[in-house]
């Protein structure tokens, strides 16, 4: 019941994993090596396997926390354990969501400015995209998650079409030997993917409010992501080889290269997938940010508007300054941020919970029996 | 404040004449029954005079009665003399007015503080005809008519189940319009019926002249929702199909279409013929309808975005043809499409509103102006005209979505021409979120596509065979994401409430 009061709804876990799938697929479709400091696209294939394992490790602290405090999300638990100190946790999450939104928005702006139409006003792009994301966020989590499910189906279909078109051009010779440069690029690739994965925090915010099989759902989500990452990368590299390493948006280039029947290229399909995924991602970010700042009863709108404005401004700055691009598209900002929000905070809360439990000599379950049911 | 009928006949008649201010349609027939003064009051045009004569006046005037006590005489007349099938006795003056204005004849007897309302309604109305807006090749040819009691009988004839219930309500402070809330008791969710009844009773309206007047009150939609969570149908068979799925119908007196609640997005693509045609053909037509809807919404926007921003997407011969035609036209492609669409909408509106004899003239002018002169004068390129023609035709495949698609289409042309393909996708996502955002009486408007239910998909994009459809217990409250109780939960919920 509490879950219903907090989000105004009760989601099914399949809906949450659908939304997380779209979010993750967006990240895969926008993978590149140019902006993240060089390397080979091919190295992301073994990195995906490491990410598969990492995806389980990253949610362990939150999973343990939820087992101890059923029906409560990370923020509820922080409120319970830290009291007023929870506002620091809320602020950290809020900042993380703004960073993540700015990262994805700036990537899209760079794509439009560099690949599609250099005359496009970056501020106009930010305003249009964020406008729709704000509208979606204000329609509520249910609306966004339901839309994300349809977007997810469309994206899967789009990816399958791309794979069907690219695989006939697949040539083994396009692949260079794996592990040629040791394990370092593979670890870097895995950390890049993990750092850009906002799904851990989304899971930490919404999973306790969902009904259904969470464990099996997570396993299916992780497995599906691994399969899609591997297939998309293998198809693109098999068709275009090492050329992809030099392109700003390699999967886009592969889709533009794909040609079938009457359609001269599949880049519009790719753009559609990107825009849908981006909007689903941004609106979910704004909703979780709103959850971070909302009181127990009221749903305030100002955090959504402020976060949208802040993310847009930050995205514009990222597009303007190379230093910021290096920071956001490399390892040194998003990976620590994801680490802190997805692993650090839940781990800290687990420790506080254990410490408080020992201090009182009783367990949470004993003191709050029935409160979570 | 309840006001009782007076025992004095003169006072009662005086009150009525004052209330109606001697209106021309108030008919008062005075008479003597066994020497006791009496009167029959009715409204001109609302009653069947032959019926009055045969079932009220003749029996009363020809009766050989000795009773002089007015109360006993009244009772005698009611139980033994009058031959009407539908009559009620009452003492409340407000009830008297309600019966009188609903076409009943009111019998008043001096010395008796009661009145008798005899059902002798009879007014001119349009006979049952073929549906105008929901044509069917193989289905029934009957459509609803204006009198609500006839509509009620049309539903009852199709569902001969005592659990089918009609509840009578009155809405409109001045019009006092009769409504019937119709549902199947053991199928419809109690919360749904209660919710709709409450909304209807709360509807603050002076007059209710059609279903469109009360649809906004009962559809319970949030502001900013583009679509409508209440459906309208003029086919009794369609309404019956919806009722057995747990929906609720609202029959409004004076309206030849019935409101059905809740309505989901996918229902816009379902027609009665789908259920009488073979499944493969039903699947084919359903897919055509979905394609037509997407064409009507996004095709012009896609055309502008592609031609202006992504010409590489098109095959070269097609691209050359478009370029050749556009090079000679004075307006940019986006403006051209917007203009033609607006002109087309003007023509359509004129064709709809113009008196019938002028309709042909409007069509000829439209065909000449849009179809021939616009191209030959070089104002519009032929591909643009082709796009408009395809879009306009596609929009009529789903008539219930015409209103919203005609407006969204213009927005999409603008966005596609201004921002290109990615802008168009922003618009698509916005429409998608809007569809997914609404919950009509606890049921997601986008169900069963999202939240998804494989079981319920048997009647969405395709229509399964009747062997499977007939077997299922498809209730609206069982759809995924529904917050309504169903089955056992409903029983428990009503028991708890007791």
Domain count, chain B: 3
Give the pLDDT confidence score for residue B458 in this predicted structure.
Answer: 84
Query: Cβ A149–B452 below 8 Å, yes or no?
Result: yes
In this structure, the answer to whether residues B386 and B463 fall within a common structural domain is no
> What tokens appear for B199 in the block?
């909304």
- Edge to edge, what strands does the sheet with B231-233 contain? B164-171, B177-184, B248-252, B258-261, B231-233
- Nearest CB to A15; choose among B313, B437, B451: B451
Query: Cα B5 to the chain's mean position, in Å?
Result: 38
Chain A, window 206-265: residues with a beta carbon less than 8 angstroms from a chain B beta carbon: 262-265
Report if residue B373 sits inside a domain: yes
DSSP-based three-state secondary structure for A30 = coil
In this structure, the answer to whether residues B312 and B335 fall within a common structural domain is yes
Domain that holds residue B142: 127-263+458-498
Residue B73: how many other CB atoms lie within 10 Å: 23
Lowest mean pLDDT among A143-152, A243-252, B143-152, B175-184: A243-252
- Nearest-Cα distance to chain A for B27, in Å, is 57
Report if residue B448 sits inside a domain: no
In this structure, the answer to whether residues B424 and B476 fall within a common structural domain is no
In this structure, the answer to whether residues B21 and B156 fall within a common structural domain is no
> What tokens appear for A72 in the block?
């409560």
Taking contacts as CB-CB distances below 8 angstroms, the residues of chain B near A17 are: none
Residue of chain B whose alpha carbon sits nearest to that of A261: B315
For CA atoms B116, B120, B126, B127, give the dihedral sign: positive
Q: Directed axis angle between helix A214-240 and helix A13-29, to 10°?
A: 20
Query: Cβ B451–A262 below 8 Å, yes or no?
Result: no
DSSP-based three-state secondary structure for B424 = helix
Taking contacts as CB-CB distances below 8 angstroms, the residues of chain B near A129 are: 426
Print pLDDT tens along chain B (498 aa).
678 899 999 999 999 999 998 899 999 999 998 889 999 999 998 999 899 999 999 998 888 888 888 999 999 888 888 888 888 999 998 899 989 998 899 999 999 999 999 999 888 888 888 888 888 888 888 999 999 989 999 999 999 999 999 999 999 888 889 999 999 998 999 999 999 999 998 888 889 888 888 888 887 666 778 888 889 999 999 999 999 999 999 999 999 999 999 999 999 999 888 888 899 999 999 999 999 999 999 999 999 999 888 887 777 888 888 888 888 888 888 999 998 899 888 888 888 888 877 777 777 777 777 777 777 888 888 888 899 999 999 999 999 999 999 999 999 999 999 999 999 999 999 999 999 998 888 899 998 998 888 888 888 888 888 877 776 567 888 888 887 765 545 555 445 444
For CA atoms B432, B433, B434, B439, give the dihedral sign: positive
For CA atoms B401, B407, B411, B412, give the dihedral sign: positive
Residue of chain A whose alpha carbon sits nearest to that of B437: A143
Report if residue B362 sits inside a domain: yes
A14-348 in CATH: which number? 1.20.1740.10
Report if residue B2 sits inside a domain: no
Query: Cα A136 to the chain's mean position, in Å?
Result: 17
In this structure, the answer to whether residues B76 and B106 fall within a common structural domain is yes
Please name which of B212, B143, B222, B214 lies closest in space to residue B172, comparing C-alpha atoms: B214
Residue tagged 């996918």 (tokens): B266
Question: Taking 90 as the threshold, does the pLDDT of residue A241 lie above it?
Answer: no
- Nearest CB to A12; choose among B419, B439, B451: B451
CB-based contact (8 Å) between A132 and chain B? yes
In this structure, the answer to whether residues B286 and B406 fall within a common structural domain is yes
In this structure, the answer to whether residues B480 and B426 fall within a common structural domain is no
Lowest mean pLDDT among A117-126, A170-179, B284-293: A170-179
Give the pLDDT confidence score for residue A315 in this predicted structure.
Answer: 96
- Nearest CB to A140; choose among B428, B435, B437: B437
For chain A, give the percent of residues with pLDDT over 90.
56
- Nearest-Cα distance to chain B for A358, in Å, is 42
- Nearest CB to B312; choose among A14, A264, A283: A264
Residue where a domain terminates, one of B70, B90, B119: B119
In this structure, the answer to whether residues B156 and B17 fall within a common structural domain is no
Residue where a domain terminates, one of B119, B139, B161: B119
CB-based contact (8 Å) between A282 and chain B? no
In this structure, the answer to whether residues B259 and B155 fall within a common structural domain is yes
Are the C-beta atoms of A321 and A46 separated by less than 8 Å? no
- Nearest-Cα distance to chain A for B450, in Å, is 5
Report if residue B450 sits inside a domain: no
Taking contacts as CB-CB distances below 8 angstroms, the residues of chain B near A128 are: 419, 423, 426
- Find all residues with CB under 8 Å of B311, minimum gap 6, and list them: B319
- Nearest-Cα distance to chain A for B316, in Å, is 9
The partner residues of B27 in beta bridges, in order of sequence, read: B42
- Nearest-Cα distance to chain B for A1, in Å, is 13
Query: Cβ B422–A147 below 8 Å, yes or no?
Result: no
Q: Could you tell me how many CB contacts below 8 A there are between chain A and chain B?
A: 97
In this structure, the answer to whether residues B287 and B428 fall within a common structural domain is yes
Are the C-beta atoms of A62 and A203 separated by less than 8 Å? yes
- Nearest CB to A276; choose among B429, B435, B446: B429
- Nearest CB to B436; choose among A14, A146, A274: A146
Kindly report the pTM of this predicted structure: 0.87
In this structure, the answer to whether residues B285 and B258 fall within a common structural domain is no
- Taking only the tens place, the pLDDT of each residue in A286-342 is 999 998 887 545 578 888 999 999 999 999 999 999 999 989 998 889 999 999 999
In this structure, the answer to whether residues B285 and B362 fall within a common structural domain is yes
């Amino acid at each position: 019941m509490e879950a219903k009061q907090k989000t105004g709804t009760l989601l099914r876990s399949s809906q949450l994993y659908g939304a997380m799938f779209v979010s993750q697929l967006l990240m895969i479709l926008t993978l590149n090596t140019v902006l993240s400091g060089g390397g080979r696209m091919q190295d992301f294939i073994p990195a995906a396997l490491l990410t598969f394992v990492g995806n389980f490790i990253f949610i362990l602290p939150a999973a343990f926390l939820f087992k101890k405090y059923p029906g409560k999300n990370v923020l509820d638990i922080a409120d319970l354990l830290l009291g007023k100190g929870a506002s620091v946790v809320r602020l950290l999450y809020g900042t993380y969501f703004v960073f993540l939104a700015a990262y994805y928005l700036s990537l899209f702006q760079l794509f439009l400015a560099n690949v599609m139409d250099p005359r496009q006003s970056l501020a106009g792009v930010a305003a249009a995209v964020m406008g729709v994301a704000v509208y979606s966020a204000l329609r509520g989590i249910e609306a966004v998650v339901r839309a994300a499910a349809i977007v997810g189906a469309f994206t899967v279909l789009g990816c399958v079409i791309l794979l069907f078109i690219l695989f006939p051009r697949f040539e083994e010779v396009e692949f260079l030997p794996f592990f040629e440069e040791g394990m370092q690029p593979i670890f870097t690739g895995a950390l890049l993917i993990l750092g850009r994965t906002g799904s851990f925090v989304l899971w930490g915010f919404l999973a306790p409010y969902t009904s259904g099989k969470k464990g099996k759902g997570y396993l299916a989500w992780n497995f599906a992501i691994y399969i899609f990452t591997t297939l998309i990368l293998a198809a693109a590299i098999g068709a275009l080889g090492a050329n992809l390493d030099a392109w700003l948006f390699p999967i886009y280039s592969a889709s533009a290269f794909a040609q079938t029947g009457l359609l001269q290229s599949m880049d519009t399909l790719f753009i559609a997938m990107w825009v849908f995924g981006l909007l689903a991602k941004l609106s979910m970010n704004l909703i979780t940010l709103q959850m971070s700042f909302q009181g127990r009863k009221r749903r305030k709108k100002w955090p959504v508007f402020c976060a949208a404005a802040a993310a847009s401004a930050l995205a514009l700055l990222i597009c303007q300054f190379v230093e910021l691009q290096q920071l956001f598209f490399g390892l040194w900002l998003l990976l620590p941020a994801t680490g802190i929000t997805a692993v650090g905070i839940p781990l800290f809360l687990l420790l506080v919970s254990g410490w408080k439990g020992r201090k009182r000599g009783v367990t949470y379950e004993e003191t709050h029996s029935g409160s979570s049911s | 404040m309840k006001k009782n009928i007076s025992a004095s006949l003169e006072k009662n008649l005086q009150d009525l004449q004052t209330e109606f201010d001697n209106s021309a349609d108030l008919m008062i027939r005075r008479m003597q029954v066994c020497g006791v003064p009496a009167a029959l009051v009715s409204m001109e045009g609302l009653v069947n005079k032959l019926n009055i004569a045969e079932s009220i006046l003749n029996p009363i005037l020809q009766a050989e009665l000795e009773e002089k006590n007015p109360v006993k005489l009244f009772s005698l007349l009611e139980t033994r003399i009058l031959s009407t099938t539908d009559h009620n006795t009452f003492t409340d003056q407000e009830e008297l007015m309600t019966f009188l204005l609903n076409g009943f004849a009111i019998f008043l007897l001096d010395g008796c503080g009661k009145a008798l309302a005899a059902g002798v309604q009879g007014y001119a109305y349009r006979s049952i005809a073929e549906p105008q807006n929901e044509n069917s090749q193989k289905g029934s040819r009957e459509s609803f008519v204006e009198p609500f009691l006839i509509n009620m009988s049309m539903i009852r004839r199709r569902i001969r189940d005592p659990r089918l219930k009609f509840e009578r309500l009155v809405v409109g402070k001045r019009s006092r319009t009769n409504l019937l809330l119709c549902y199947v008791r053991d199928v419809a969710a109690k919360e749904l019926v209660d919710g709709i009844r409450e909304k209807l009773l709360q509807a603050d309206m002076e007059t209710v002249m059609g279903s469109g007047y009360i649809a906004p009150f009962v559809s319970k939609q949030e502001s900013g929702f583009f679509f409508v969570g209440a459906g309208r149908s003029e086919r009794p068979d369609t309404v019956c199909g919806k009722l057995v799925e747990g929906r609720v119908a609202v029959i409004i007196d004076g309206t030849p279409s019935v409101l059905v609640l809740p309505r989901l997005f996918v229902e816009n693509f379902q027609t009665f013929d789908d259920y009488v045609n073979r499944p493969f053909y039903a699947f084919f037509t359903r897919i055509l309808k979905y394609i037509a809807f997407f064409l009507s919404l996004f095709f012009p926007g896609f055309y502008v975005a592609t031609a202006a921003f992504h010409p590489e997407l098109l095959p070269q011969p097609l691209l050359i043809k478009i370029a050749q035609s556009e090079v000679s036209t004075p307006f940019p492609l986006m403006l051209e499409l917007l203009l033609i669409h607006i002109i087309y909408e003007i023509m359509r509106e004129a064709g709809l509103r113009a008196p019938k004899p002028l309709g042909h003239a409007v069509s000829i002018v439209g065909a000449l102006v849009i179809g021939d002169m616009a191209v030959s004068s070089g104002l519009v390129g032929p591909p643009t005209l082709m796009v408009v023609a395809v879009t306009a035709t596609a929009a009529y495949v789903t008539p219930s979505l015409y209103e919203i698609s005609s407006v969204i289409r213009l927005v999409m042309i603008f966005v596609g021409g201004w921002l290109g393909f990615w802008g168009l996708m922003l618009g698509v996502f916005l429409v998608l979120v809007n569809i997914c955002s609404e919950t009509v009486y606890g049921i997601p408007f986008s169900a069963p596509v999202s939240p998804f239910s494989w079981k319920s998909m048997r009647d969405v994009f395709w229509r399964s065979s009747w062997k499977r459809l007939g077997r299922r217990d498809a209730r609206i409250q069982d759809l995924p994401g529904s917050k309504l109780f169903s089955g056992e939960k409903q029983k428990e919920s009503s028991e708890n409430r007791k």
